[in-house]
Amino acid sequence: MGNVPTTVKQYLDCGTLVGDFPWSSWLLEEKKGPDVRSFPDFVKIVEVGPRDGLQNEKEMVPTEVKIQLIDMLSQTGLSVIEATSFVSSKWVAQMADHTEVLKGINKLPHVRYPVLTPNLQGFQTAVEAGATDVAVFGSASETFSKRNINCSIEESMQRFERVISAAKQAGIPVRGYVSCALGCPFEGAVQPTQVTKVVKRLLELGCYEVSLGDTTGVGTAGSMAAMLHAVTAEVPVHTLAVHCHDTYGQALANILTALQMGVSVVDSSVAGLGGCPYAKGASGNVSTEDVVYMLQGMGIETGVDLSKVIEAGEFICRALNRPTNSKVARATKA
Amino acid sequence: FNWVMCIQNHCIIYESTLVPAEVKIRLIDMLSEAGLPVVEATSFVSPKWVPQMADQEEVMRGIHRKNGVNYPVLTPNLKGYRAAVNAGAKEVAIFGAASELFSKKNINCSVEESLQRFEEVMTAAKQDGIPVRGYVSCVLGCPYEGKVSAAKVAEVAKRLYSMGCYEISLGDTIGVGTPGGMIEMLEAVKKEVPVQALAVHCHDTYGQALANILVALQNGVSVVDSSVSGLGGCPYAQGASGNVATEDVVYMLHGLGIHTGVDLHKLMDAGSYICRSLNRRTSSKVAQAACKL
């Protein structure tokens, strides 16, 4: 403790010290930053366009269009396509046709089609509609949790416990999401320790994977590294995924940082569907095309056929009558 | 890395709307105020080739030179160099290519011939005590040749450096590069040119720019070229974007705790000014997000 200030020496344990003075962690811990040369050989892409993407599009999309989009995506080599959300249509009108969509899609044997199930009722409806994978959506920010799903983080965990326990009985795997992992539109900065707490809870409850979401895209390579450093100190990195929004153009750099820190599951949305509900006119999800382009260029396997994803993106953009958010799609068309 | 220099490229050259000299001058002055240490002011190419740059002298004389800020100008040959110096330029830049086909199509001569032309500029610049920056284009891919070998990039960079260029900016001209290719290319170039003398000039045509810049920083590069609002489309891909936006780069660097000396708000002001003048939307995502429409 040679060059640690005297005022700090009065603390007997590091935990209290770091708790009271968060800045002191850099004095005490050896920070493991991104490993510049190390990248995974394979990255699993979780396509969230049909759910997270469409959910945030203003235009109402007809059921047949949703079904066709998912069917096109199934042909691209993607192994996970989030199909829809079993939330009340009162809250999310775009997802009101969840049952029809899930029943209408052509489910390929090597592809999984998870659906969001915010509560037990949603879960039961999903199972009746044929769901074989579900997801629950928590938050690292109390304010966001209250504003977004009308309850505290703790209450949401209790709701999820009921879903996960029913899912276990039905042999249905559950994926967890943690939003606001790099910042909250209401609270501002979010402590990595807080993210860690929520991730651990979801894993303990029984989620097989937790996707860390930069909900408003404010994160940078710096905050991504700091957050992952904290989370991976307590949970195995293979249970983590990153869900980066490109609102500030930082998504690919953030994803790259996550890969360097051992993450090998990346969420993205075809054509970058889904604006950001917290910043009018700003973009939201990172485009699958741009992510796949990067990974391919780096020699990282994804199993995905980029040209087919671009086609699916073109299809949905025509249907939505909006330009793509994917730079790769735009450049390729040019 | 804890300090990175952001070089502002003046890529109004690729904007289709002709912009009056006063607007260019005002933009450059705003960028100086925003804290950028280097602002590329104009280009002394023949206006026959690049009509946007016909007012080169007017711009050079009109800008308010801030103390400590450099205003390099492009000088493709001796004639352009002399005109630049006459107009008051204190720093110039020359533009080589790592691809033979690109060199022929872009400046009508082979890479070797272009390097010989530059020798003339270098000799004159040395005599006048004027520093010269070298650019190498197509370092991660060429619109005509496709793949470009890292060895070729290193060769051209080495030539420019040994000729006397104080810095070599490595340009991913069509934005096709990805982090793997960037690392490989930098490793080859670093064997011939010290990393402190290297800069990266990434285009965002395929959305890869920030990821490429990040790995460049991780590999020792500390000078980054960018363009306010991401001005300048890609002439090889209609409708595709070109330069990476300075606002987005600065946002990332600040998020990494890196000091740049740039005031992001003033930078965004400069960005909205030029976009209004050009009557076009910004290409910067940070600017889009910050703008409450």
Percent residues over pLDDT 70 in chain A: 87
Kindly report the nearest CA distance between residue B12 and chain A, in angstroms: 20
Per residue, the 3-state secondary structure of chain B, as one string, reads CCECEEEECCHHHHCCCCCCHHHHHHHHHHHHHCCCCEECCEECCCCCCCHHHCCHHHHHHHCCCCCCCECCEECCCHHHHHHHHHCCCCCEEEEEECCHHHHHHHHCCCHHHHHHHHHHHHHHHHHHCCCEEEEEECCCCECCCECCCHHHHHHHHHHHHHHCCCEEEEEECCCCCCHHHHHHHHHHHHCCCCHHHEEEEEECCCCCHHHHHHHHHHCCCCEEEEEHHHCCCCCCCCCCCCECEHHHHHHHHHHCCCECCCCHHHHHHHHHHHHHHHCCCCCCHHHHHHCCC
List chain A residues with CB under 8 Å of B178: 293-294, 296-298
pLDDT exceeds cutoff 80 at A31: no
Backbone dihedral angles phi then psi of residue B199, each to the nearest 5 degrees? -135, 160
**A-B contacts (CB, under 8 Å):** 120
For A203, the 3-state DSSP assignment is helix
d(CA A104, CA A127): 15
Give the minimum alpha-carbon distance from B215 to chain A in angstroms, rounded to a whole number: 7
How close is the nearest chain B Cα to the Cα of A74, in Å? 24
- For A127-161, the DSSP string reads HHTT---EEEEEES-HHHHHHHHSS-HHHHHHHHH
Homologous superfamily, domain B4-290: Aldolase class I (3.20.20.70)
| A94 and B CB contact within 8 Å | no
* Structure tokens belonging to residue A197: 């707490």
Distances (CA, A) of A196 to A140, A292, B182, B291: 9, 28, 33, 32
The predicted-structure confidence for A304-315, as pLDDT tens digits, reads as follows 999 999 999 999
- State the smallest CA–CA distance between residue B241 and chain A in angstroms: 8
Question: Rg (Cα) of chain A, in Å, rounded?
Answer: 20
* Between residues B234 and A233, the one the model is more confident about: A233
What is each CA distance from B285 to A109, A153, A281, in whole angstroms? 39, 31, 10
Q: Count CA atoms within 13 Å of residue A215 on its CB side.
A: 24
Chain B partners of A256 at a C-beta cutoff of 8 Å?
A: 179, 211, 214-215
What pLDDT score was predicted for residue B227?
92
Mutate to test the interface with A, among B4, B178, B202 (most CBs of A within 10 A): B178
Cβ A293–B180 below 8 Å, yes or no?
no
Q: Which of A180, A184, A244, A276 is catalytic?
A: A276
Q: Closest to B207 (Cβ–Cβ): which among A36, A39, A327?
A: A327
> How long, in residues, is chain A?
334
**CA distances in angstroms from A201 to A156, A182, A192, A205, listed in the order given:** 11, 18, 14, 6
Give, rounded to a whole angstrom, the gap between the first and last alpha carbons of chain B: 36
Closest Cα to residue B16, out of B48, B50, B47, B39? Answer: B50
Q: Is the per-residue pLDDT at A125 higher than 80?
A: yes
Q: Which residues of B touch A249 (CB under 8 A)?
A: 210, 245, 248, 251, 284-286
**How high is the pLDDT of residue B3?**
59
Q: Is the pLDDT of residue A277 over 90?
A: no
B75-103 pLDDT per residue, tens: 988 999 999 999 999 999 998 999 999 99
B2 at interface of A, judged by CB pairs closer than 8 A: no
Round the average pLDDT of chain A to a whole number and report it: 90
Between A287, A290, A334, which is nearest B237 by CB?
A334
Residue of B nearest to A330 (CA): B240
Task: Answer whether B194 touches A (CB < 8 Å).
Answer: no
pTM value?
A: 0.90
Q: Angle at which helices A306-320 and A288-297 pack, to 10 degrees?
A: 160
Q: Is B275 an annotated catalytic residue?
A: no
Length of chain B: 293
List residues bridging with A212 in a β-sheet.
Answer: A178, A242
- The residue from B6, B142, B165, B234 that is catalytic is B234
Least CB–CB distance from B214: residue in A221, A248, A296? A221
Rounded Cα–Cα distance for residues B94 and B76 (Å): 6
Indicate whether B39 pLDDT > 80: yes
Whole-number CA gyration radius for chain B: 17
Does the pLDDT value for residue A30 go beyond 90? no
pLDDT at B10 over 80: no
Tell me the domain boundaries of chain B: 4-290
For residue B290, the tally of other CB atoms under 10 A from its CB is 20
ipTM of the complex: 0.91
| Tens-digit pLDDT profile for residues A129-186 | 999 999 999 999 999 999 888 899 999 999 999 999 999 999 999 999 999 999 999 9
Q: Above 80 in pLDDT, residue B109? A: yes
Q: What is the tens place of the pLDDT at every residue in A61-88?
A: 999 999 999 999 999 999 999 999 999 8
DSSP state of A41: S
Q: Do B208 and A257 touch (CB under 8 A)?
A: no
pLDDT above 80: residue B259: yes
Tokens 């999820």, residue located: A160
Both tokens assigned to A21: 């003075």
Question: Which residues in chain A are contacts of B211 at CB distance < 8 A?
Answer: 252-253, 255-256, 294
Q: What's the CA gap between B162 and B281, in Å, rounded? A: 41
Cα separation, B256 vs B4, in Å, equals 11
Q: Is the Cβ–Cβ distance between A139 and A178 less than 8 Å?
A: yes
For β-strands B198-202 and A84-85, DSSP reports them as unpaired
The confidence band for A58, taking pLDDT boundaries of 50, 70 and 90, is confident
Q: How far is A170 from chain B (nearest CA, A)?
A: 42
